[in-house]
Amino acid sequence: MTHCNGTLADRCLERYIQGNLPEREAREFEEHFFDCSECLAQVEAMEALTAGLVRHPVKIAKAPIPWPVRGGALMAIAAMLVIGILSYRTFQPKPAQPAVAVSPKSGPVSPQPPSSTQPFSPSSASNALSQLADLTLPVFHAPSLRGQSENLHFENGMKAYSAHDCQGAEKALSQVPAQDEEALASQFYTGVCQMHGGELAAAQATLRKVDAAGDSPQQEAALYYLAQVALARQDSTAARHYLARTISLHGDFEQQARLELNKVQ
């Protein structure tokens, strides 16, 4: 029932749940969320997350051995193997020389076949770039549990999207209000629809807005598809930039982005 912009929850929520928020700020936050259903829902969600982790703790894997240590150990093993082999060969009784002399090697070494790789002309490099671009629509997983999206336009848009009706999806998603919870997701799926339809400039502009909104569930995917748009536009600099940023987020697209970055480079 307050006019909330969410900044208080952003600032306080995690520390409040962990009991690390100073008492004065904790009281201020409590007075706020008692009258703000949105922030109360955030508190409840965070409490559910904590309760879930308490009941089903995540096993922490042992950290990988750092390279200097691992490298040292590998070097030691390799050195021991070399010493072992050398010692074995030194002390092994030499076989008697065969009675017949071994003929010299027969014939010269055949020359390498000519390389089948074509020289890289600028145009073929560009074509190769655009062939790398993945312009297929990412799959949208509709929530299967209780409570579909509250926004009918978003829901209709995503139904159309799931049926590969990009025009219908764009039309419905364009009606999602800017302040709606699904606004950013709407922008993202609009962007990929535009990309899929070949409107690369429009897709780039839309996906950039998603990226500019900062940390969000769609940011990593937006960066990845911005890289795809750049590839399709044969802009290797932009593609490398967006792929590197995708990788830096270490999310679901990291591996794919790495593969593509290697190819682009």
Least distance (Å) between residue 138 CB and another protein:
15
How many other C-beta atoms lie within 10 A of the C-beta of residue 128?
15
The least CB distance from residue 234 to another protein, in Å, is 31
Compare residues 185 and 232 and give the one whose CB is closer to another protein: 185
Tokens representing 75 are 């070097």
Which residues of this chain interact with another protein, rule CB under 8 A?
A: 1-6, 14, 16-20, 27, 30-31, 33-38, 40-58, 60-61, 63-64, 66, 143, 145-147, 149-150, 179, 181, 183-184, 213-217, 219-220, 248-252
Closest C-alpha to 176, from 152, 199, 197, 194? 152
Residue closer to another protein (CB basis): 37 or 131: 37
Closest approach, Cβ 13 to another protein, in A, equals 8
Nearer to another protein, 179 or 265 (CB): 179
Identify whether the C-beta of residue 184 lies closer than 8 Å to the C-beta of residue 213: yes
Task: Closer to another protein by CB, 21 or 229: give it.
Answer: 21
What separation in angstroms does the CA of 239 have from each of 29, 41, 229, 255?
A: 43, 39, 8, 15
Backbone φ and ψ of 179, nearest 5° = -95, 5
- Cβ proximity to another protein, 109 vs 178, nearer residue: 178
Coil vs helix vs strand at 109: coil
Name the residue nearer to another protein (CB basis): 84 or 217.
217
CA dihedral over 207, 177, 172, 141, signed as positive or negative: positive
Burial of 225 (0-12, 13-18, 19+ CB in 10 A): buried
Please state the closest distance from residue 96 (CB atom) to another protein, in A: 56
Kindly state the smallest distance separating residue 244's Cβ from another protein, in Å.
14
CB of 222 closer than 8 Å to CB of 252: no
Closest distance of CB 230 from another protein, Å: 23
